[in-house]
Chain A
């Protein structure tokens, strides 16, 4: 479904990604792990079109998406939930969801999609008229994921849903992603919570200094010596 080949990308004066190879198949739940500054966020931003790939190819369902504007990538069915959420602070939860469904023309479909995400996040339903700017950190993450789900993307890119969350909301966020994956959404997740993530996902890539240094299934990586030493503290 998603295929990155030899992707190099970065910012004005700094190349961050070097020859990144990455693949996500339909229905898979895949994670990108790695230390701070490894380029995980940059990878997602490059796929979503916010950072332009300097080299290499990015294919989605067999078609190149390199150089597309971010909103075009979104319209192809690639949802992106960023690290900082990028919510509309002055709008209510409900309105944030409505904007999330901007590309959906059918009113009934929007309503049923709203019901679906409220079912996934009952807490958002309780507070549907509260302004997004006044939500707690955990509620913001939930809303960011919920908004990303509104157009029913076939691939969802999620950047650190656990960032800044206490253990219990973190589990809730992971639980929601698991449910989504079971319902058939393909997910590419960036995480720091290595242990929990490896128990959750089908496959994972380890990114270090802009290069993929390891890849494998959850159990494979959990039993890998390097991963145990560097990330699990065993």
Chain B
């Protein structure tokens, strides 16, 4: 029997096994990126920096959907909370830096304080949301769960935005940059320090996130819950704790993205609306609940946005990704990386 399956596999022509829609799109995207980056390296830099942040947003969104079946529409407001934390933590640090321009530790590491605090506050909000809302709802009824949690998060989002508006007003408040230093030379291209750090933070966080899901005992438990809750309980995994961790992680990542990106998107009560939409584009494009796919999809969407903004016009940046998603869903309704196997980190 073993040999039969082995030969059967070999008989499928290599070309046909790898020639599918997903790989075709990935190859086209990679090719486009190479051509563009030769012509205009700053487009590549922007794609990687913003793509990394969309990956943090979309990854968290996919995680919450994969593990808890919650289509979150409050995710963008955690991004907004992140920009707020960054604003309030960095403003005093900024004046401290101005007072002591020779304190290099403060100058280089100070900006990270806001990012770390944003992650922590985001995680705390996530835990509270689980405790006060989703757990209560689950205890009462699991019927119509997806619809109910959609309404719950949408309502919560309106609350977040109005409270923010009451407390901080409608006007944009931001910082022009975290690091007041000349651009850094990366392979002959001058890159602003903030952009570089955005990229590095994104990559570092994504790597830790991936490693956590793939290798750690708790990450594995999270994936187990996403695939079979009963099976996970049989293994002694408590669902409540996993749910709490899932929301903490995903909300923390969204707030981190907001804090890191404040130099690009200053705080307004609705600053999270656009990142939320983009994260949803990405998650739908990649296949609902698939974190791995969401990370790749985020870079694809960021690339399409950059190309549209540069070659077409800025107000087209949301049109093209949506168009592409419609096309992908027409031909592959389960999304680019979707499959029958449900799980947050499986292809």
* Chain A residues with a Cβ under 8 A of chain B: 48, 50, 69-72, 74-75, 79-82, 85-91, 95, 98-103, 126, 131, 133, 147-148, 150-151
Contact = CB atoms under 8 A, between A and B. Distances in A.
Contacts of B236: 71, 74-75, 102-103, 151
Contacts of B231: 85-88, 99, 147
Contacts of A81: 234
Nearest to A102: B235
A98 B220 contact: yes
Interface in B212-255: 217, 220-221, 223-224, 227-228, 230-239
Contact of A147 (B221, B227, B235, B346): B235
A70 B234 contact: yes
B220 A82 contact: no
Nearest to B239: A71
Contact of A99 (B2, B232, B340, B346): B232
A138 B231 CA distance: 18
A147 to B, nearest CB: 7
A82 B230 contact: yes
B211 to A, nearest CB: 15
Nearest to A133: B341
Nearest to B240: A69
Nearest to B340: A133
B343 interface: yes
A88 B223 contact: yes
Nearest to A150: B235
A91 B223 CA distance: 9
7 smallest beta-carbon distances between A and B, as pairs: A86-B231, A90-B346, A90-B343, A103-B236, A70-B233, A74-B236, A90-B341
Interface in B304-347: 340-343, 346
Nearest to A86: B231
A148 B228 contact: no
Q: How big is chain B's contact interface, by range?
A: 20 to 34
Contacts of B230: 50, 70, 82, 86
Given A71-B239, A99-B221, A131 B341 contact: yes
A80 B234 contact: yes
Given A88-B228, A89-B342, A90-B346, A71 B238 contact: yes
A131 to B, nearest CB: 7
A89 B224 CA distance: 9
Contact of B235 (A90, A103, A131, A133): A103
Interface string B182-219: 00000000000000000000000000000000000100
B224 A82 contact: no
29 contacts: A70-B233, A71-B232, A71-B237, A74-B233, A74-B234, A74-B236, A82-B234, A86-B228, A87-B228, A88-B224, A88-B228, A88-B231, A89-B228, A89-B343, A90-B223, A90-B346, A91-B224, A95-B220, A99-B231, A99-B232, A99-B237, A100-B235, A102-B217, A102-B224, A102-B236, A103-B235, A126-B2, A133-B341, A147-B234
